[in-house]
Amino acid sequence: MAKKNGSIIYKCSNCGYTQPRWLGRCPECGEWNSLEEIIIDRNNITPAGRGKEAVEKQKPVVLSTIEAQKNTRLSTGIDEFDRVLGGGATKRSAILLGGEPGIGKSTLLLQTAASIAIKDAKVLYISGEESAAQIKERADRLGLICNGINILCTSRLEDSLDALDSLNPAFVIIDSIQTIYSAEAGIIPGTVNQLKYCANEFISWVKERESVLIMTAHVTKEGTIAGPKSLEHMVDTVISFERNADDIRFLHAQKNRFGSVDEIGIFSMTEKGLEPVINPTSLFLTKRKENQPAGVACTPVFEGSRVFLVEIQALTVPAKASISRIYSEKIDSGRVARVAAVIEKRCGLCFSDQDIYVNVAGGIKLSESSIDAALAAALYSARTDIAVKNGTAVFGELSLAGEIRPVTKTKQRIKAAEGLGFTSILSPASDDKTGIQDIKTLIKTIFR
């Protein structure tokens, strides 16, 4: 009864009679003005089935008349994971988890699946990379209870969707989305069309149900998620999994529609899997028996709702070429160049003929503006080979005019530094207290 391409029919709201054209009166029940436009959408997903379902044409509604959903969070059972997600995974949402090979994505999700399954919630783990025996072997090695976890090892989208419709799980894991393919979009997994088509099918399914979808994703050698950027736009949350040189893993959100992107989750990789680091405040400080060397400065930074004390390390050496270079992975090289330029202009210390190396102990990435003062102290210390005195912490934003500007949450930063035994804490001047006002005062205070 529907048109070949248009797929539009008219349905009586009184008796359910359908016919291809609009009429003022229903031929079946005789009701006037009861025929409503209905669309036949072969891509529509409903609990009753898939494909060529009749749905009502959507119409705009007033936002104030819509009731906000309550109790929409599903705890993963892992506090650090919940912290990054904003208090738990939001139902009817899709999450994309990216990380380099071997970092622990599958381990984290298997631990999450086990934690959720204990709460009598159905979990479906779809793996296109490992066999069921391999997943069971990992679960036994980690000592996980697997009751309630359903495993489906396939790369076919259609098999996955059939399993979703039959089980209707509360938590769905796709490991990984790059391995899933559908004959509708070709037969080669990982192509742009495959990623967009398969991801859209999974996301459409979860949006209609009280479920949570997590898809793992491959990354390129640059560390970005492989595939089209539109894949990150389609999901609600994008989470990056990173590591340092040790067994520490960092989990942080690059996008989160239901929470902050400032929180960071810290894990330690052990024989029993990923374990949350309970007190990471001093995790990024180097323990020394002697005085700290030149080129090192400590600063308190905020990551979400927590304060960490971190150690910024700097090294300057004469440039080997006519143009000096900056090597910095954990702090943006542009910030390093700007701070060095301010010191050179305001303090008369030359950096233009030096190669600059900057690192952060522990491997955490820093982007907060409050690290400027500590970065300046580390650079000055490295260039002059004069060490910052033990027990000194410094923070503040450095302007191009050489001013040390105040930053947020000063009291919390000072309290955290004092709690770790720092006796000399240099902070910017504010309305209710005195402090460091400019770069010259900072350098004189630290280096006498």
- What is the three-class DSSP state of 126? strand
Tokens 């891509």 belong to residue: 43
Closest by CA to 197, choosing from 188, 185, 214, 186, is 185
Query: Which tokens belong to 261?
Result: 């992107």
Radius of gyration (C-alpha) of the chain in whole angstroms: 28
pLDDT at residue number 44:
52
Tokens 């396939």 belong to residue: 154
Quick one: 66 exposed, middle or buried, by C-beta within 10 A (0-12, 13-18, 19+)?
Answer: exposed
pLDDT digits (tens, 9 = 90+) for 238-296: 999 988 767 889 999 999 999 888 888 999 998 889 999 877 877 888 888 888 999 99
Closest by CA to 276, choosing from 76, 79, 75, 74, is 79
pLDDT at residue number 170:
94
Closest by CA to 59, choosing from 32, 37, 90, 89, is 37
Q: Indicate the pTM of the whole model.
A: 0.77
Spans of the chain below 50 pLDDT: 1-6, 45-52
Separation of CA 321 from chain center: 39
CB 10 within 8 A of CB 22: yes
- What is the three-class DSSP state of 249? strand
Axis crossing angle, helix 333-347 with helix 439-447, rounded to the nearest 10:
80
CB 429 within 8 A of CB 435: yes
pLDDT at residue number 4:
41
pLDDT at residue number 52:
43
Axis crossing angle, helix 157-167 with helix 192-207, rounded to the nearest 10:
10
What kind and span of H or E run contains 45?
strand 45-46
* Distances 274 to 9, 62, 138, 149 between C-alpha atoms, Å: 54, 46, 13, 19
Instruction: Return left, alpha or beta for 396; rule: phi > 0 is left, psi -120 to 50 is alpha, else beta.
Output: left
